[in-house]
Homo-oligomer: A and B are copies of this chain.
Amino acid sequence: MTPAQSALLDCLRPVLGAKGIVTDRDAIAPWETDWRRRFHGLAPALLAPASTAEVAATVAAAAHFRVPLVPQGGNSSMVGGATPPADGSALILSLRRMNAMRRVDAEAGLAVAEAGVILSDLHDAALAVGRRFPLSLGAKGNATVGGLVSTNAGGTQVLRFGSMRGLVAGVEAVLADGSIHDGLAPLKKDNRGYDLTQLLVGAEGTLAIVTAATLRLVPVPATRTTAWAATADPQAALALLRRFSHATETLESFEILPRESLAAVLAYVADARAPLTGEHRWHLLIEHTDERGTALMEELLGSALVDGLIADATIAASDAQAAGFWRLRESISDSERALGPASQHDLSVPVDAMPRFMIEAAAACEARFPGTHASGFGHLGDGNIHFHVRAAPGTDPARWYAEDVPVVTRFVDDLVIAAGGSIAAEHGIGQMKLGELERLSSPARLTALRAVKAAMDPHGILNPGKLVTLARAAPGQ
């Protein structure tokens, strides 16, 4: 521990109390490594304030002593966004003790949740008043509101209600100088200068510490209809997506997966069964909440069958069957991991461009890296897929991750940029993509990112080494 860190802890002890300062190595260890165990850091202490005032005091003191803080919620970042640096220079700022649901207002369709509220608890709190928080993802049992806001999280229901950005009506946050920005009032129109709420959504804790958020709730749908369909190619899937989009405003999911992803799941998950018989190149998982229910689904899938857009389809006959479809979709990452090491890419391109990208990028990767297998699956409706390039059989995992993955990553990222896309669709930049972001951003974007970071966090104490590096100060400044 550095002298500055010791001084900070001395200063915070009366503020945070015994529960609020953790220095026991065993207690800290689980939070020093990301959940995929790809990033390992070191934090001499973990600070756990229990209120906004305590967060403000913590940040003000950290600013005074110039001790960097790494904000952390559920530690479910896919890009090492919540893992402290390895040199022990930063402390972890855990928001998990701030887990109060301050307000749930069914009538207004709003909830005010503190940063440490776990997503599944938010779901439950909304349901308890007959409302729904319409964003979900695999890590819902760990991911917290603060992390979801700070990473502009996505998931499988973005198609209709958008990612977190569209669901956040306001935030409360502590700025880098320890001052509190109270932006929780749910104003539908507010043009008092730059939108600080929108600036903090997706800022990965590098500009301020989000302590609470006002979130939109929507009605619980009376009915939900889920179908599985098979198609020969992604372009046909896009055409079907358009038909659904035009027929209903309640399309909630339109997921695509290739044959090999389904095969991996069927091989890995004990009791998994293929929804359709026969061999199909591509599979679709479609869900809407239109009142017309299965009638609408049958009509659209029926005409798609007639028109040759799809080869086969089945509509879930029960909630259990729908859940079974979703379990197949949600088991892909784990199942593919069992097949061997891969280079994984969370990318987006304009929705129209995605079918072509899926085919051409896979072919380009396999041609460039002989023996690898490349394919993408995910949120076709959002123009966002998870694209995996699996190492050739027999590849040494250590060598693959150390030497090959960076090369594959640059190759894939170049394809994404050429297609007008984003190398960070829903998982953010964190520390994993920082180098690629700087390599591939236009001078204008990079200048703006650095300028905003330097302006909001001039001493670089908020989540250092994530999202963007501070430019070295010019001589004379």
Contacts and interface: CB of A to CB of B under 8 A. Distances in A.
Interface of A: 105, 107-109, 151-152, 154, 158, 163, 165-166, 175, 177, 179-183, 185-196, 198-199, 201-203, 207, 219, 242, 245-246, 249, 348-352, 379, 382-384, 420-429, 437, 441-445, 447-449, 451-456, 467-468
A189 B189 CA distance: 24
Given A348-B188, A383-B189, A441-B192, A447 B203 contact: no
18 contacts: A158-B188, A165-B195, A175-B448, A181-B448, A185-B349, A186-B350, A188-B383, A189-B422, A191-B422, A191-B425, A191-B426, A191-B429, A192-B423, A193-B437, A193-B449, A193-B467, A194-B453, A198-B198
A15 to B, nearest CB: 19
A181 B348 contact: no
A78 B285 CA distance: 49
Given A199-B198, A202-B195, A203-B194, A189 B429 contact: no
A165 B198 contact: yes
Contacts of A379: 189
Contacts of A423: 192
A352 B214 CA distance: 15
Contacts of A202: 191, 193-195
A452 to B, nearest CB: 5
Interface centre among A188, A196, A202, A447 (most CB of B within 10 A): A188
A192 B448 contact: no
A290 B246 CA distance: 15
B246 A219 contact: yes
Given A186-B350, A199-B198, A349-B187, A442 B181 contact: yes
Contacts of A219: 246
Contacts of A453: 194
Given A188-B383, A195-B199, A452-B455, 7 more contacts: A175-B444, A179-B442, A181-B442, A185-B350, A187-B421, A192-B423, A194-B453
A23 to B, nearest CB: 30
Contact of A175 (B447, B455, B456): B447
A293 B428 CA distance: 43
A447 B158 contact: no
Given A180-B444, A189-B154, A455-B455, A194 B384 contact: no
B185 A420 contact: yes
Nearest to A193: B449
Contacts of A190: 348, 422, 424-425
Contact of A179 (B151, B179, B444): B444
A179 B447 contact: yes
B452 A454 contact: no
A151 B429 contact: no
Contacts of A245: 109
A187 to B, nearest CB: 5
Nearest to A180: B444
B348 A189 contact: yes
Interface centre among A242, A444, A468 (most CB of B within 10 A): A444
Contacts of A349: 185, 187
A189 B188 CA distance: 23
Contact of A452 (B154, B199, B443): B199
Contact of A455 (B109, B181, B193, B451): B451
A177 B188 CA distance: 33
Nearest to A186: B350
Contacts of A207: 194
Contacts of A186: 350-351
Contacts of A177: 447
A163 B189 contact: yes
A192 B429 contact: yes
A20 to B, nearest CB: 22
Contacts of A185: 349-350, 420-422
Contact of A448 (B196, B422, B449): B196
Contact of A188 (B203, B384, B444): B384
